[in-house]
Structure 1
Amino acid sequence: MESASRPLHRSLQVFAVLQWVFSFLGLAPLCLVTLILASLGRAWTLVVLYLLWLYRDRHTPRMGGRRSAWVRNWAVWRHFRDYFPITLVKTAELNPSQNYLFGFHPHGVLVVGAFSNFCTEATGFSRLFPGLKPHLLMLPCWFQMPLFRDYIMTSGLVSSDKASASYLLSHPEGGRVAVLAVGGPLEALEAKPGTVSLRLRHQKGFIKLSLEHGASLVPVFSFGENDLFQQFPNPPGSWIRRMQEALQTILNVALPLFHGRLGLLIPFRVPIHTVVGAPIPVPRSPRPSREQVDQLHKLYVERLTQLFEDHKMCYGVPADQHLVLI
């Protein structure tokens, strides 16, 4: 009986991953086209009402979003988790009366680990960290897409602009977690199997933000994140890298040329282990000096490096491989 159900489980896992990849890459334009077509037909009044409501609701992505426990607990996310599979690893207790800024590394091509661990309950975030509500920060442009923005907010996604992060980190009762893929879209261009290149050397905005609000910093490393897809060769200085960087400047999103299994957009079945490190206490400093920012950045890099070194052997990283900061 168990062997008979195995093909069904694997099929459900593939379906779960495919729907997520489509949601990430194709749902936004589909929602826009649907709204345009509806406005040309008998449903135009509904479209007008929605757009009026959308205008009134325009600040919600910067004010904690609109999470839905029901969406975060959908069964499809458990199949999504099991496809790889994905595991969330806790290394220290976090006080639910405080706010936290999680630095997620590496970005990967599609931030798969960040979504599964912090936008769903498939890996048990609320069980491991009771009293904390995670919000994954996403580029503001995605929240300009009608209908799509309402769907992604249900999982806990919010805008990544400073006002949005500040809203979370200044929550008076604590219990809020802002999760930021520190390397940003450009780090996606470095996401290749067997590599651990992080755009972190000059990324200090998140450090300043944590100081301004006195929010503890928590380094997070997701082992396996860069092994999910193959990318077309794009070494620094190549014509394709220059084109990608130019488009990122214009569109604010990276466009890695990648493929997975069978040359398609299905990621490889590679285990992902997302390790949440110990918190770094941060004193509140409304106007931090450059020296304060530099000192805290140095400490953060040290803690992240130590987190990687302490766990890499457990998750298949060679002993002679180390983080590369760019």
Structure 2
Amino acid sequence: LDGVSRCERPLIPSLPSPTAEVCIGVLLLLILYNYWFLYIPYLTWLYLDWRTPEQGGRRSDWVRSWAVWKYFKDYFPIHLIKTKDLDPSHNYIFGFHPHGVLVAGAFGNFCTNYSDFKKLFPGFTAYLHVLPIWFRCPLFREYLMSSGPVSVSKRSVSHVLSKEGGGNISIIVLGGAEESLDAHPGKFTLFIRQRKGFVKIALTHGAYLVPVFSFGENELFKQVSNPEGSLLRTVQDKLQKIMGFALPLFHARGVFQYNFGLVPYRKPIHTVVGHPIPVHQTLHPTPEQIEELHQTYMEELRKLFEEHKGKYGIPEQDTLVFK
């Protein structure tokens, strides 16, 4: 589903997670050293639990309340700003922009218990949708689900938006891996023009659309120059199409010095939730209906950016670039 299945995961969205690699290594060691009494029960569980990431996941308030997430939120710091009350009798799709390298705003605001989400949006449950590949990674999938993310597959999004009586929010990072390659400080390039799958699924379920812009998301890292047409960008694009995730070459600060390293810069992130766009349920939307709603969404997203950019130090002449 274009615009849904091509969206990204939290934490380190454009790179394979080191935690995932460690989990795979642990399982391989168990198999190599024949700890069958550990890996056979787990693999059996994995088989039986395979569809859980598409059925609302399995979040843990204990994991979401780990102190590390408070330090994570306060490091930048991360803020959540509401511009309009939402009616909990509806389900919603939050289109999250921009992707950036880390997607820190999406994770910090919607996957931990230290954000103001519950205070600002009482009666709602948020689901951050991430690439299905991460739920196929043994052991790591359990850790990932515990903080709240679910798969970005069509079946998973439909499950969230099918809740009777409303109160569910699907958060989808619409720009995906492609957009992460254009995540440069001071730049606001969004891959949105061809992302229309989220509009179709919104129409199908009657889910209201809400544009979300995370100011400061692109300021956390500096990326090696990779203009379109360059050898580096060509290689990155090909790898992204093959593997499903991007490999941006980025740097920031170190732990004890500010000159070079992989620790993100301490730049404030303000995630602004825009006004909801009412959507009338249409089980079989036409291309014209999808296009009309998609245009409305882009207009509201641009309006949101223009209304708030001055508050966060963005020059008047800077604007969004839709690709």
Return the TM-score normalized by structure 2.
Answer: 0.92
Q: Is 2:257 the counterpart of 1:265?
A: no
Structure 2: distance between partners of 1:24 and 1:128: 33
The structure 2 residue matched to 1:175, chosen from 164, 167, 175, is 167
Aligned letter for 2:49?
D
Structure 2: distance between partners of 1:110 and 1:149: 19
Deviates more, 1:158-167 or 1:259-268: 259-268
Q: Is 2:192 the counterpart of 1:195?
A: no
Deviates more, 1:21-30 or 1:166-175: 21-30
Which residue matches 1:9? none
Q: Is 2:65 the counterpart of 1:73?
A: yes
Structure 1: distance between partners of 2:134 and 2:234: 24
Aligned ranges for residues 109-188 of structure 1 at < 5 Å?
A: 109-188=101-180
| Residues 1:194 and 1:288: Cα distance change in structure 2 (over 3 Å) | same
Which digits, 9 at most, give the CA deviation of each residue in 1:207-243, with x for residues without a partner? 1110010000010000000010011110001111111
- SS of the residue corresponding to residue 194 of structure 1 reads coil
| Residues 1:175 and 1:236: Cα distance change in structure 2 (over 3 Å) | same
Give the superposition deviation at 1:44.
2.0
Give the superposition deviation at 1:45.
1.5
Q: Is 2:291 the counterpart of 1:294?
A: yes
The structure 2 residue matched to 1:89, chosen from 76, 81, 104, is 81
Aligned letter for 1:33?
G
Give the superposition deviation at 1:21.
6.0
Give the superposition deviation at 1:40.
2.6
Conservation of the 8 A alpha-carbon contact between 1:31 and 1:147:
yes
Q: Is 2:323 the counterpart of 1:322?
A: no
How many residue pairs match? The answer is 307
Which residue matches 1:10? none
Conservation of the 8 A alpha-carbon contact between 1:193 and 1:229:
yes
Structure 2: distance between partners of 1:263 and 1:64: 40
Which residue matches 1:307? 304
Conservation of the 8 A alpha-carbon contact between 1:309 and 1:322:
yes
Aligned letter for 2:202?
S
Which residue matches 1:49? 41
Give the superposition deviation at 1:317.
0.7
Aligned letter for 1:67?
R
Aligned letter for 1:307?
L
Aligned letter for 2:128?
L
Structure 1: distance between partners of 2:277 and 2:65: 30
Give the superposition deviation at 1:24.
6.9
Aligned letter for 1:170?
S
Which residue matches 1:235? 227
Conservation of the 8 A alpha-carbon contact between 2:220 and 2:264:
yes
- SS of the residue corresponding to residue 126 of structure 1 reads helix
Q: Is 2:99 the counterpart of 1:102?
A: no
Structure 1: distance between partners of 2:165 and 2:39: 38
Aligned letter for 2:146?
T
- SS of the residue corresponding to residue 190 of structure 1 reads coil
Structure 2: where are the runs of 5+ without partners? 1-10, 254-258
Structure 2: distance between partners of 1:24 and 1:82: 25
Q: Is 2:266 the counterpart of 1:274?
A: no
| Residues 1:169 and 1:214: Cα distance change in structure 2 (over 3 Å) | same
- Larger helix share, 1 or 2: 1
Which residue matches 2:4? none
Structure 1: distance between partners of 2:217 and 2:116: 19
Q: Percent identity?
A: 53
Per chain length, whose mean CA-contact separation is higher, i.e. which structure has more relative contact order (CA < 8 Å, sep 6+)? Answer: 2
Structure 2: distance between partners of 1:266 and 1:257: 14
Which digits, 9 at most, give the CA deviation of each residue in 1:33-74, with x for residues without a partner? 001101233632111000001000000000110011121122
Aligned letter for 2:260?
G
Structure 1: distance between partners of 2:246 and 2:294: 25
Structure 1: distance between partners of 2:128 and 2:80: 15
Which residue matches 1:12? none
Conservation of the 8 A alpha-carbon contact between 1:39 and 1:45:
no
Q: Is 2:215 the counterpart of 1:218?
A: no
Structure 1: distance between partners of 2:234 and 2:12: 26
Which residue matches 2:199? 207
Conservation of the 8 A alpha-carbon contact between 2:12 and 2:103:
no
Structure 2: distance between partners of 1:215 and 1:90: 19
Give the superposition deviation at 1:173.
2.8
Structure 2: distance between partners of 1:78 and 1:64: 24
